[in-house]
Structure 1
């Protein structure tokens, strides 16, 4: 038996100043939580923006839309009270309907979709008409000439009572209403204007020839919130002061006025049509201009979704907005999880060591990795493979020798039972840490006993211990 050479102890040098690694780690500990909070806030903002309906959304406060953001429940409630609800999809038709017949209520839930010229005509309706605007913007107020300023705007709509600064609401029709989700935008009329404020300034009424009512939230009119608190009584009472309700239901922004331009002279025409005669264009569509020109006179190109351009993807409209918001949140969560577990997604990659590491430190490091991962099975198989790698050359046996033959040879050297030796070298994986420690000690005892006996025949004595080469893989 040859003695194992002891590693020469090296003198420890004084530790130098700490490098920048701890500072970087401290920076990461501060940046990662702040980044997670920022990502959570951004996700909340995006989700709120997607979940909040916009006036240009399809079916927004439409009397025929039964979805969450529609107004079909309000229209049905008005009809049940015996009121007439007239739906108009064109602004000019709505104004014409409001002018004819007895006084009516003109309900404009999406005034921002109207042109400035149309907005200016809203306040020139017949005397006694009530104009109800839902959450109008500054542009709408300026175009209609309503002397009211926008003040505080809330993140979400608040349920409030009809009082404003302790004063009761002067609108008699809203007397039965105790609470309503009417305060998201607050209004402040000019000092010289005699205006009535209700619901914590979330509703403003300006009396006059045309009674203008501004409502700072769309929640009382929507289907999803129509049955909450007293929203139903609030909306029906506000629109039901007259027997006729003209509901302006716009599908999108009002188209611009057609440009007025004189038609170009026709050089190839041998005759000139008489004044006042209607001429048919060559394409026969009664619209004039070259074929394919839109009716409004714009010739900037084919409309969206036509053959001249890529059609819109129908997948975007097949799912509600909350579905895409949840999908974005899941993607962000997966990305954060991948960044968090980036160093643990794969097995350790071997790499050359930049410095000399003692074998004891390497063994201890591997042992801690196995312990942290709970890999008792791989650790036990590694110990058995290392023991067989030392025993087989000493016993003059090939690497593919049968298990019973190896066990018999080892038992002959150590004086043990072949069955116990076979169980030790080829048995089941250890189930606990104690079993792994017992296995390591038993393998070491058997290996030392075999190495202590003379080798078979005249084989050269192998080194009982092979130190890992410095700089090799871990």
Structure 2
């Protein structure tokens, strides 16, 4: 009975520790998952505000919209194709449209049909092929400001800019290309509905709130978008798609925080497996073949010092021990230096500070007799400090 009860009592704490460990792991995973979800949500909202005229963030374009309004141009922000078509039907207008991968070719053409001018923001190859045949993306600029170098009046009045994405227009003679860099151009424009035009430009490094005040960015934006009294700024969304037969991936169907949380769970699982797999057992006392008493070790080291005739080294060992004991007697911390201990001992005992420093630090023994004398002086100093600190124990 006694052995069984003892065994059961030993297993209970182990089970409790295991349960507590797994609870701690679960709480850590929940905390890390929450942090990952918050970061993912923050990134998602930051991405939503990109090129949005209602966003005041670094990647938004609210500053440009306000500048256009200051020039007497009405800016209408629409988030679906029906509203965009209705706004364009009010009169001559400029359609500002970011790349819309969720729309079909027919939907993009129908949307631009009612616009006098079209400004394409960060267009991809498909959008360029629809509006500017023969034009295609051609890398990224080096980040330095370049002059227009073309016959486009709006670009010449704006001055130099530092373009981002570049486009090549070698396959079409109707396209005007400006801001040449590394054999390609940062702006391309072509005809649209008679006197109208279509312009493609990388807006993220030019017209966003963060970069609008640089070089001639603001002037170029106003010149491109302000040719008509109305600007219809279309902000595409996934819900406005007309691709009914699109096959969406699992990553698109799940919230954006799911993928980082899965990765974090995998990392936490691997870490838990390594932790449990490398668990050490209880400490086991090892039986030594020989046990050497401390007194024998001390005597052996003393004989070595005596044989080598190194009185100074032996004196240092005696002083180190005496300084440690004196520091504890005087209530000094482990970080106290030898001069501090010597001064404290002299102050407590009333002895001459120079003499105490000579005993603990300065005096150098030249022979065995000097070493024996130093040992006696150290012992007398310790006795004096002990008497001064604890006089009642010494009297008894």
TM-score, normalised via structure 2 length:
0.51
How far apart, CA to CA, are the structure 2 residues paired with 1:61 and 1:401? 74
Quote the offset at 1:123 in angstroms.
7.3
Contact 2:315/2:371 (CA < 8 Å) preserved in 1? Answer: no
Q: Counterparts of 2:220 and 2:90 in 1: how far apart (Å)?
A: 26
TM-score, normalisation: structure 1: 0.44
Equivalent positions of 1:181-196 (< 5 A) are 181=162, 183-196=163-176
Measured against aligned partners, the alpha-carbon deviations of 1:249-305 in whole angstroms (never above 9, x if no partner) come to 24x545544758xxxxxxxxxxxxxxxxxxxxxxxxxxxxxxxxxxxx999999639
Distance in 1 (CA, whole Å) between partners of 2:128 and 2:147 is 25
Give the 5 Å matches for 1:443-462: 443-445=364-366, 448-451=369-372
Q: 2:125 aligns with which of 138, 157, 162?
A: 138
Instruction: Give the whole-Å Cα distance in 2 for the aligned partners of 1:94 and 1:304.
Output: 28
C-alpha distance in 2 between matches for 1:76 and 1:390: 80
For structure 1, the residue ranges without an aligned partner over 5 or more in a row are: 1-52, 261-296, 314-358, 364-381, 392-399, 403-416, 428-438, 456-474
Aligned 8 A contact 1:89 1:249 in 2: yes
Instruction: Name the residue aligned to 1:198.
Output: 178
Q: Superposition RMSD on alpha carbons, in Å?
A: 4.6
- Does the C-alpha gap of structure 1 residues 303 and 449 become closer, same or farther in structure 2, counting only changes over 3 Å? closer
**1:88 maps to which residue?**
78
Which of residues 141, 151, 158 in structure 2 aligns to 1:154?
141
- Looking at structure 2, the residues matched to 245 and 197 of structure 1 have their Cα atoms a distance apart, in angstroms, of 23
The equivalent of 1:215 in structure 2 is 201
Partner of 1:35: none
Q: Between Structure 1 and Structure 2, which shows a larger proportion of helix residues? A: 2
Gaps of 5+ in 2: 1-42, 262-300, 306-312, 323-327, 331-350, 377-396
How many residues end up aligned between the 2 structures?
Answer: 252
Matched, 1:232 2:218: yes
Structure 1 counterpart of 2:87: 97
Which secondary structure does the structure 2 equivalent of 1:68 belong to? Answer: coil
Distance 1:136 1:300, change over 3 A: closer
Alpha-carbon distance in structure 2 between the residues aligned to 1:139 and 1:77: 31
1:129 aligns with 2:110: no
Do structure 1's residue 424 and structure 2's residue 358 form an aligned pair? yes
SS of structure 2 residue aligned to 1:234: helix
* Correspondence list, 1:282-321, <5 A: 304=255
CA contact (8 A) 1:141 1:148 kept: yes
- 1:69 matched to 2:68? The reply is no
Aligned to 2:21: none
CA contact (8 A) 1:105 1:244 kept: yes
Q: Does the Cα contact within 8 Å between 2:102 and 2:242 map onto a contact in 1?
A: no
Partner of 1:173: 154
CA–CA distance in 2 between the matches of 1:130 and 1:303?
38
Structure 1 position 139, deviation (Å) = 3.5
Are 2:95 and 1:106 equivalent residues in the alignment?
yes
